[in-house]
């Protein structure tokens, strides 16, 4: 399985038959300097953790151009379908969504919020989530935007993810201390990748503190836009 981090929380996961983009915030992402078309090439699915603009990003444009299926919680999916996304798979925490070829996505809890601004007013877009992707190779847990919570241990027990993407930027999500504690206490990852940092001045700029605090955990800090195999 090949993974590529595009900065912030944007991730591409692919195994030959499936190309899944998670939270594809590319346009306007200060960490991303590549081509949106190249990053999204061959996309079969776009999976969103929640409705904030720095996570929805280019989802609509990518789905329209590539024909990828959007996977999102009910309210967010309807909101984006109204913007022209034709193929949509809706869900909510608790169940799995079959993406074909033994690949599935499950929504799990996250402690955050989910909305966008329309004419200066916040529009609710369903519950925020983390996601678990099974069947690409090693099971992936992308935590989305969240604070730490004890039931992360249930996610590990139920799904046994081996690749974790954990936010570390602080203020809006877990900071380095919480994320490192979660990685050590609740999970048994083979690889954990820190995300949601280094993009905006208001959040932490490097993964250095997380790497130092996550002693004993195999932390990979990839170069933006450069794929790696797991």
Instruction: Write down the pLDDT at residue 29.
Output: 98
- Whether residue 155 is contained in a domain is answered as yes
Q: Mean pLDDT throughout 186-209?
A: 98
Q: Mean pLDDT throughout 49-66?
A: 98
pTM greater than 0.85 (yes/no): yes
- Whether residue 113 is contained in a domain is answered as yes
- Whether residue 226 is contained in a domain is answered as no
Instruction: Write down the pLDDT at residue 92.
Output: 97
DSSP state letter for 219: B
From 63, 15, 3, 13, select the one nearest 36 (Cα to Cα). Answer: 63
Confidence of residue 84 (pLDDT cuts 50, 70, 90): very high
- Domain containing 173 equals 2-220
Length of the chain measured in residues: 230
- Whether residue 152 is contained in a domain is answered as yes
Instruction: Write down the pLDDT at residue 97.
Output: 98
Total of domains in the chain:
1
In whole angstroms, how far apart are CA 66 and each of 70, 86, 223?
11, 11, 25
- Whether residue 151 is contained in a domain is answered as yes
In three-state secondary structure terms, 138 is: coil
Instruction: Write down the pLDDT at residue 10.
Output: 99
Q: What angle do CA 36, 37, 43 make, to 5 degrees?
A: 105
Instruction: Write down the pLDDT at residue 52.
Output: 98
CATH number of the domain enclosing 86: 3.60.15.10
Confidence of residue 77 (pLDDT cuts 50, 70, 90): very high
- Whether residue 179 is contained in a domain is answered as yes
Q: Mean pLDDT throughout 152-171?
A: 98
Instruction: Write down the pLDDT at residue 82.
Output: 98
Confidence of residue 216 (pLDDT cuts 50, 70, 90): very high
Instruction: Write down the pLDDT at residue 63.
Output: 98
- Whether residue 54 is contained in a domain is answered as yes
Instruction: Write down the pLDDT at residue 123.
Output: 96
Instruction: Write down the pLDDT at residue 56.
Output: 98
């Amino acid at each position: 399985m090949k993974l590529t981090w595009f900065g912030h929380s944007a991730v591409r996961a692919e195994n030959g038959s499936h190309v899944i983009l998670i939270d594809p915030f590319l346009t306007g992402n200060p960490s991303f300097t590549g081509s949106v078309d190249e990053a999204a090439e061959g996309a079969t699915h776009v999976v969103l953790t929640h409705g904030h603009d720095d996570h929805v990003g280019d989802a609509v444009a990518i789905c329209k151009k590539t024909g990828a299926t959007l996977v999102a919680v009910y309210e967010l999916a309807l909101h984006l379908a109204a913007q022209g996304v034709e193929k949509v798979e809706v869900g909510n925490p608790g169940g799995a969504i079959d993406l074909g070829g033994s690949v599935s996505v499950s929504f799990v809890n996250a402690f955050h919020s989910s909305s966008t601004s329309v004419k200066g007013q916040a529009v609710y877009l369903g519950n925020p989530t983390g996601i678990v992707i099974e069947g690409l190779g090693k099971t992936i847990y992308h935590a989305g935007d969240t604070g730490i919570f004890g039931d992360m241990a249930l996610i590990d027990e139920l799904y046994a993810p081996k690749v974790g993407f954990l936010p570390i930027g602080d203020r809006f999500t877990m900071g380095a201390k919480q994320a490192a504690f979660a990685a050590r206490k609740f999970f048994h990852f083979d690889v954990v990748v820190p995300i949601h940092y280094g993009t905006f001045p208001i959040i932490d700029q490097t993964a250095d503190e997380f790497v130092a605090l996550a002693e004993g955990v195999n932390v990979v800090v990839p170069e933006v836009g450069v794929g790696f195999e797991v």
